[in-house]
Structure 1
Amino acid sequence: MADDREIARLFRVNKTIHELVDDRGFQVSEEEKEMSFDNFKKTFAPNGSVDRNSLNFWTNSRTDPEDSIFVFYSDEKKVGVKTMRKFIGILDDKKIRRGIIIYADAMSPPARKVITQLGQDYTLEEYPEADLLVNITKHNLVPRHEVLPKEEKAALLLRYRLRETQLPRILISDPVARYYGLVRGQVVKITRPSETAGRYCTFRIVL
């Protein structure tokens, strides 16, 4: 029973992380996003338990062939420096500078410090499995978020004669900002339903 719960948990995590990567503009097949639980179990848990290493994957951007992302599942429930070194080593071998590490329970302060220290050379993110059990952007209370290209951001500021500091803010730690991998200075368009206008849009800058 414990193994079945673990398989079901990792099935949900795997589905969400593929949707996340796809929503960020990276290549993900429909088969990967829509994989059934039975196929997941047959592919990744043929012996009754999941080898987390088999869930690792990397993919390229749909628009920039030079941009790739690597998703790494930690064997350690609590990530330490040793696992971080393994993670960075794989990124180096594949010549990838963008990566996401997923872990079961926690990340030690020294391991988290590695992410900060290597921030100039890599774009590294960490997610506990619990944060990926559901895709928060599919919740009916979460409005649609779209990242504005630089040209559209500039046009928005010019049209309304605004400075960046005058825009409403969304924190970089916001769950939706984390889902899309937003960085400081980006602007998101948020579309909400309206009883009178059908829908209305607001814009927020990431801080």
Structure 2
Amino acid sequence: MVVSEEEFSRLFRVRRTVMQMLKDRGYLVTDSEINMSKNDFKLKYPENLTREDLFISRTKKNDPSDQIYVFFLEKRPENTMVGTDAIRTCILRMESEGVYTAILVVQPKLTHYALQFFAEKSSKCHLETFQESELLVNITEHVNVPEHKVLTDSEKKTLLERYTVKESQLPRIQVTDPVARYYGLECEQVVRITRLSENSGKYMTYRYVV
């Protein structure tokens, strides 16, 4: 089945945001992959492109053993949602290849049973899900979204000792916050947020992920 021009453009934008997101999380992604033109995207992928063709595998810059898969899931032909079978196929591949972190990019939504299955499997491996509509634009490029950086354990310890506070006393950011989801923040992490001010230049605040 030949993909329409509109669908091709959509997938091009979604893939570009995913590549940016992976790079911002510390995975090995080249600038050429992020800046790929739409014409080059067409040359790379066939006219009968399926979402399965967009599969991505990357490792962390500082830890080659830390690997992530990105699966792009099609909706079921007889339904408007993505079902359990699609998730099960992804997990079986991860298990067979020893990968325990993945992002599932779904075309519309997951079915009720798929959501239950997803929640069950998320306890055994780190799974995240995004709808394509959430990835059409990179929200961190918006002028009102400041820079976020997760502190290392040593950086967090230094911060808490400097201000004589417990991490739970810091202002909070929900793990479900769109920016937190983009960066893949996890509960109990501390993130440094750098904002720009016309009066004082850069200033930093810290948030505890809950």
Query: 90-99 vs 75-84, which deviates more?
Result: 75-84
Provide the rounded CA distance (Å) in 2 between the counterparts of 1:197 and 1:80.
51
How many residue pairs align between the two structures?
A: 205
Deviation by residue 1:11-53 (Cα, 9 ceiling, x = unmatched): 0000000111111111112221111000111211x33x42211
Counterpart residue number, 1:84: 87
> For residues 1-207 of structure 1, what are the structure 2 equivalents within 5 Å?
3-44=4-45, 46-47=46-47, 49-76=48-75, 78-207=81-210
CA drift of 1:65 comes to 1.9
Provide the rounded CA distance (Å) in 2 between the counterparts of 1:119 and 1:56.
20
TM score, norm. by length of structure 1 = 0.95
Provide the rounded CA distance (Å) in 2 between the counterparts of 1:25 and 1:75.
27
Provide the rounded CA distance (Å) in 1 between the counterparts of 2:6 and 2:161.
53
Divergent runs of 4+, >3 A: none
Structure 1 counterpart of 2:147, one-letter code: R
Provide the rounded CA distance (Å) in 2 between the counterparts of 1:16 and 1:93.
28
TM score, norm. by length of structure 2 = 0.93
SS of equivalent to 1:99 = strand
CA drift of 1:120 comes to 3.1
- C-alpha RMSD of the superposition: 1.5
Provide the rounded CA distance (Å) in 2 between the counterparts of 1:104 and 1:163.
41
Provide the rounded CA distance (Å) in 2 between the counterparts of 1:143 and 1:156.
20
Query: 22-31 vs 174-183, which deviates more?
Result: 22-31
SS of equivalent to 1:65 = strand
Provide the rounded CA distance (Å) in 2 between the counterparts of 1:153 and 1:109.
38
Mind listing any 5+ residue stretches in structure 1 that lack a counterpart? none
SS of equivalent to 2:122 = coil
Provide the rounded CA distance (Å) in 2 between the counterparts of 1:120 and 1:107.
18
CA drift of 1:115 comes to 2.4
**Percent identity among equivalent residues?**
39
CA drift of 1:104 comes to 1.1
Mind listing any 5+ residue stretches in structure 2 that lack a counterpart? none
